[in-house]
């Protein structure tokens, strides 16, 4: 779908360096990195707003490296929406359409549930409404690729959840290839089929969320993604108790979540108790495993316990000394169902 070969963009104060990337048709691809890493430069170069000093960009097998933005069949949505304040929602969405009565207009309006606000001026809209209008304006032109620049950054928590759902639906039901840039790790995990981690104008690692977050290629990636005890599993809801039973590589983990199907779960290391003997507790998750690594972090100690899958546990220095823990020791780890975050 999109192939980028040895792409270099020189903006004097910033250089995008030798980027190589392939994005599949219909993929939800997230570019993750800190502010100033080059995410927006990459996005806008794909859109044709910056010219490459070196390298090639292909879309559907066609070399578009030197083509004008309007010929690339790409739409871009910025975090500040860039709506025309003097136009109505309807006029904003239709802006740029060659056929003002395009049949896709009605389909997109219904899909994003914005028909009730078509008559309003864009400067009267909430953040969520503005984001939907910006998405509608981008989608009505039938783009092959939708580029999203920090699309959730300006939204409150409840609105973010709604827009997240709509972005997933756009990708799945409309089959549009999406490239979404963000510095938020949670967005990358929630959305991405695959992730590219960027820093200082370079792509450092590409892979599935599970691969990138669990097996970082470098110290920067490890520090930046910062997620421990992240697992992918299959969740089944017990209808009698509304408890989720999640199978992670044969290890059954219980959660209070009501999400079923393929899920990601995470458990904070500090939410896990470690003991040398099995303890009586109301916590639903208890496993016996071997300490495979002990990492001294000063006031705290990080312990890796293999119970069939590796768990990272964090305890105080005093607790570590009181328990007399050592590598190779068999211990029990315990955590509550409510401590299992499912997404």
Q: Which domains does the chain have, with CATH numbers?
A: 2-225 (3.40.50.300), 231-342 (2.40.50.100)
- pLDDT band at residue 129 under the 50/70/90 scheme: very high
Instruction: Give the span between the Cα atoms of 146 and 29, in whole angstroms.
Output: 10
pLDDT score recorded for residue 266? 85
Question: Cβ distance 267 to 339 under 8 Å?
Answer: yes
- Tokens in use for 37? 């890493």
CA distances from 190 to 146, 208, 224 (A): 18, 11, 17
Centre a 10 Å sphere on the Cβ of residue 74 and count the other Cβ atoms it contains. 23
At 186 the three-state DSSP class reads helix
Choice between 217 and 195, residue whose per-residue pLDDT is larger: 195
pLDDT score recorded for residue 235? 96
**Maximum C-alpha span of the chain:** 75
- pLDDT band at residue 280 under the 50/70/90 scheme: confident
User: Which tens digit of pLDDT belongs to each residue from 152-187?
Assistant: 887 888 888 888 888 988 999 889 999 999 999 889
Segment 192-209 mean pLDDT: 96
- pLDDT band at residue 101 under the 50/70/90 scheme: low
Instruction: Give the span between the Cα atoms of 136 and 108, in whole angstroms.
Output: 6
pTM for the model stands at 0.72
Question: Cβ distance 6 to 54 under 8 Å?
Answer: yes
Instruction: Give the span between the Cα atoms of 50 and 41, in whole angstroms.
Output: 8
Instruction: Give the span between the Cα atoms of 214 and 264, in whole angstroms.
Output: 12
pLDDT score recorded for residue 153? 86
Q: Phi and psi for 131 in degrees, rounded to 5?
A: -65, -40
Question: Cβ distance 34 to 53 under 8 Å?
Answer: no
Q: Which residues pair with 9 in a beta bridge?
A: 16
Instruction: Give the span between the Cα atoms of 52 and 7, in whole angstroms.
Output: 7
User: Which tens digit of pLDDT belongs to each residue from 136-152?
Assistant: 999 998 899 999 999 88
User: Which parts of the chain fold into alpha helices (H)?
Assistant: 39-47, 89-94, 103-111, 127-139, 157-174, 185-191, 209-214, 219-225, 317-323
Question: Cβ distance 73 to 139 under 8 Å?
Answer: no
pLDDT above 60 (res 135): yes
pLDDT score recorded for residue 219? 79
User: Which tens digit of pLDDT belongs to each residue from 70-83?
Assistant: 899 999 999 888 89
- The sheet with strand 28-32 has its strands ordered as 74-77, 145-149, 177-182, 28-32, 194-199, 202-207
pLDDT above 80 (res 105): yes
pLDDT above 60 (res 99): no
Q: Token pair 């300490």 is at which residue?
A: 291
């Amino acid at each position: 779908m999109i192939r980028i070969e040895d792409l270099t963009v020189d903006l004097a104060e910033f250089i995008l360096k030798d980027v190589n990337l392939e994005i599949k048709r219909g993929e939800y691809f997230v570019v993750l990195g800190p502010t100033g890493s080059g995410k927006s430069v990459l996005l806008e170069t794909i859109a044709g707003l910056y010219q490459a000093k070196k390298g090639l960009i292909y879309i559907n097998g066609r070399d578009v490296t030197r083509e004008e933005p309007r010929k690339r069949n790409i739409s871009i949505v910025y975090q500040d929406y860039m709506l025309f304040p003097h136009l109505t929602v309807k006029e904003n969405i239709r802006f740029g359409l060659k056929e003002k009565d395009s049949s896709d207009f009605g389909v997109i309006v219904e899909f994003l549930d914005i028909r009730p606000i078509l008559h309003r001026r864009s400067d009267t809209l909430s953040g969520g409404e503005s984001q939907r209008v910006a998405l509608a304006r981008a989608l009505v032109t039938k783009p092959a690729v939708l580029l999203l620049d920090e699309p959730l950054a300006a939204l409150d928590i409840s609105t973010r959840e709604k827009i997240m759902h709509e972005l997933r639906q756009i990708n799945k039901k409309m089959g549009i290839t999406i490239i979404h840039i963000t510095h938020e790790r949670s967005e990358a995990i929630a959305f991405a089929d695959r992730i590219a981690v960027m820093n200082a104008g370079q792509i450092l690692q590409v892979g599935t969320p599970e691969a990138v977050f669990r097996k970082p290629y470098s110290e920067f990636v490890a520090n930046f993604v910062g997620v421990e005890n992240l697992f992918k599993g299959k969740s089944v809801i017990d209808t009698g108790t509304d408890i989720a039973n999640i199978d992670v590589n044969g290890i059954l983990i219980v959660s209070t979540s009501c999400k079923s199907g393929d899920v990601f779960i995470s458990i904070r290391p500090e939410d896990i108790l470690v003991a040398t003997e099995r303890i009586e507790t109301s916590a639903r998750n208890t496993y016996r495993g071997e300490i495979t690594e002990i990492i001294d972090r000063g006031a705290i100690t990080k312990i890796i316990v293999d119970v069939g899958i590796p768990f990272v546990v964090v305890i105080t220095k005093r607790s570590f000394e009181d328990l007399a823990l050592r590598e190779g020791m068999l211990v029990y780890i315990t955590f509550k169902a409510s401590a299992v975050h499912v997404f």
